[in-house]
C-alpha cells in the first residue's frame, strides 16, 4: 500500500514580503519508498504527526491573528472616539469661554456698582455700631449717677 512521504521542496525566504515571515513549501507524494531509512508505516506516522502539528499551529496562528485584528479594530475605534471627544471639548471650551466673557462684559458695571454699594453699607453699619456702643456707654454712665 502506498503511504504518504514528505518531500521538502525548498524553503522560501520571505524577507521582502510585508509579513516578514518564512514560508515552508511542503509537497506530499504517494509512494512506497522509505524516507530517511524509516519504514513506510513510521514515515506515514511521522508525516501524519507533522501535518497534525502544523495544522494545530495554523489554527493557533489564525486565532492569534483574529485576536490581533480585534485588538487593532478596538484601538482604532478608541482613537476615533478620542478624536471626537477632543473636538467636542475644544468646541465647548470655545463656546463657554466666549459666553462667559460676554456675560462678564455685560454685567461688569452692575457688579462693580453692587460691590461699591456693599462696601458702603458695611462701612455705614460699622459707623452705626460704633455710635450705638458709645450711646450705650453714655446711657450706662448716666444711669449709674
Q: Note the pLDDT of residue 11.
A: 39
Q: Note the pLDDT of residue 110.
A: 93
Q: Is residue 135 part of a domain?
A: no
Q: Note the pLDDT of residue 13.
A: 39
pLDDT, tens digit, 9 for 90 and up, residues 99-140: 788 888 889 999 999 999 999 999 999 999 999 999 999 999
% pLDDT > 90, the chain: 54
Q: Is residue 38 part of a domain?
A: yes
d(CA 126, CA 35): 112
Q: Which three cell numbers stand for residue 123?
A: 462701612
Q: Is residue 21 part of a domain?
A: yes
Q: Note the pLDDT of residue 40.
A: 74
Q: Is residue 121 part of a domain?
A: no
Residue span of the structural domain in which 44 resides: 3-54
Series of mean pLDDT values for 10-residue runs along the chain (145 residues)? 45 43 53 57 85 95 97 98 96 82 87 96 98 95 90
Q: Note the pLDDT of residue 21.
A: 55
Q: Note the pLDDT of residue 94.
A: 84
Domains: count for the chain: 1
Q: Note the pLDDT of residue 28.
A: 53
d(CA 20, CA 108): 67
Residues contacting residue 24 through CB under 8 Å, at least 6 positions apart: 8, 11, 12
- Mapped onto helix, strand or coil, the DSSP state of residue 8 is strand
Q: Is residue 18 part of a domain?
A: yes
Q: Is residue 10 part of a domain?
A: yes
Amino acid at each position: 500500500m502506498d503511504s504518504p512521504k514528505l518531500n521538502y521542496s525548498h524553503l522560501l525566504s520571505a524577507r521582502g514580503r510585508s509579513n516578514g515571515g518564512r514560508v515552508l513549501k511542503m509537497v506530499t507524494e504517494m509512494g512506497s519508498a522509505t524516507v530517511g531509512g524509516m519504514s513506510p508505516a513510521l514515515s506515514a506516522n511521522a508525516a501524519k504527526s507533522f501535518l497534525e502539528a502544523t495544522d494545530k499551529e495554523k489554527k493557533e496562528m489564525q486565532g492569534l491573528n483574529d485576536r490581533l485584528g480585534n485588538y487593532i479594530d478596538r484601538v482604532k475605534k478608541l482613537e476615533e472616539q478620542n478624536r471626537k471627544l477632543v473636538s467636542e471639548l475644544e468646541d465647548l471650551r470655545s463656546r463657554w469661554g466666549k459666553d462667559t466673557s460676554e456675560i462678564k462684559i455685560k454685567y461688569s458695571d452692575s457688579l462693580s456698582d453692587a460691590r461699591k454699594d456693599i462696601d458702603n453699607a458695611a462701612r455705614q453699619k460699622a459707623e452705626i455700631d460704633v455710635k450705638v456702643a458709645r450711646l450705650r456707654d453714655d446711657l450706662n454712665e448716666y444711669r449709674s449717677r
